[in-house]
Amino acid sequence: MVRLKTFSNKHFKKLILVFALISFGFNGYAQPDGEKLFKANCASCHRATDEKLIGPGLKGAPERWGNDMVKLTKWVQNSQAVIKSGDAYANKLYAEYNQSVMPNQTVNADEVKAIFDYVASYVPPVKAGPTGPTGETGPAKETNWTFIWIGLGIFFVILIVILAPVRRNLANSAKAKQGKVTNPDATFWDETKDWIYSHKKPVMLLGFLVFLMLFVVGWNALSGIGVNEGYAPEQPIKFSHKIHAGDNKINCQYCHTGVEKAATPTFHRLTCV
């Protein structure tokens, strides 16, 4: 019985730590997200295919750079420095695209690798044909992992509450056989408080991870407030977007660099004027 009690304490500690670490890792802290990095830093001028936009398509770019990721990373971080170094391929690109200056990107080597790993695995979406009498197809549903994790958390709490009386009875039996004082009237919450008091460090770690996870979820939810698609206010400058956005199909991010990160579309004067 003593061994069973010891195992039970270890089991609770490991269960909490494993669950917390899995939740923490799930939120994307282990590896950089290539898709998000591509959309934030590259999508305004490049496609994830071999199709040209403002700059060349990024599919196959590492091969065109001779699989030299060190040089490719330097190019992404500061293209003009690579051009001034006399690199032949860099100068060829510069001339081919009318000496357009690629803005420097504040990404590290791991993030650059993640971007091109995403590009290498990217498959263009296939346009679905009519599926119903109206000829319309509904948008693909995304899995809401937040509710799944909340459900799993509730499940584990219920499981612990159900198993607590069994653990309490086994512990009291073990204490009785050893001649120790037992407390059969102790409630689940009494034992919970005692357990928390005797396992302060794991509880503090779990509390910090839960707070961090809730902070990230809350931040993502609040960041969408005030961001509206189709919003068309009165423009201070009467500028027609027909040529840029219509005829040339230039991505809005090329001039409005913060359009996906802020409630208002910022304007990059050096890029467009």
Task: Judge if 165 and 219 occupy the same domain.
Answer: yes
Residues 210 and 260 in one domain: no
Q: Examine residue 159 and state whether it is found in any structural domain, yes or no.
A: yes
For residue 166, being part of any structural domain is answered with yes
pLDDT below 70 — which residues of the chain? 1-30, 127-144, 182, 224-239, 257-273
Number of structural domains, the chain? Answer: 3
| 23 and 47 both lie in a single domain | no
Q: What is the pLDDT of residues 103-112, one digit of tens each?
A: 898 899 999 9
Look at residue 36 and tell me if it is in a domain. no
Whether 47 is covered by a domain: the verdict is yes
DSSP the chain: -HHHHHHHHHHHHHHHHHHHHHHHIIIIISS--HHHHHHHHTTTT--SSS--SSS---TTHHHHTTT-HHHHHHHHH-HHHHHHTT-HHHHHHHHHTTTPPPPP----HHHHHHHHHHHHH--PPPPP---STT---PPPPPP-HHHHHHHHHHHHHHHHHHHHHHHHHHHHHHHHHTT----TT--HHHHHHHHHHHTHHHHHHHHHHHHHHHHHHHHHHHHTTT--TT--PPPSS----IIIIIIS---GGGT-TTTTTSSS----HHHH-
27 with 150, same domain: the answer is yes
Residue 28: predicted pLDDT: 45
pTM exceeds 0.75, yes or no: no
* Structural domain harbouring 55: 43-104
Is there a domain that residue 113 lies in?
no
- The per-residue pLDDT for 110 is 92
- Are both 218 and 267 inside the same structural domain? no
Please give the pLDDT value at position 76.
92
- pLDDT number for residue 208: 92
Structure confidence at residue 141 (pLDDT): 60
In a domain, 136, yes or no: no
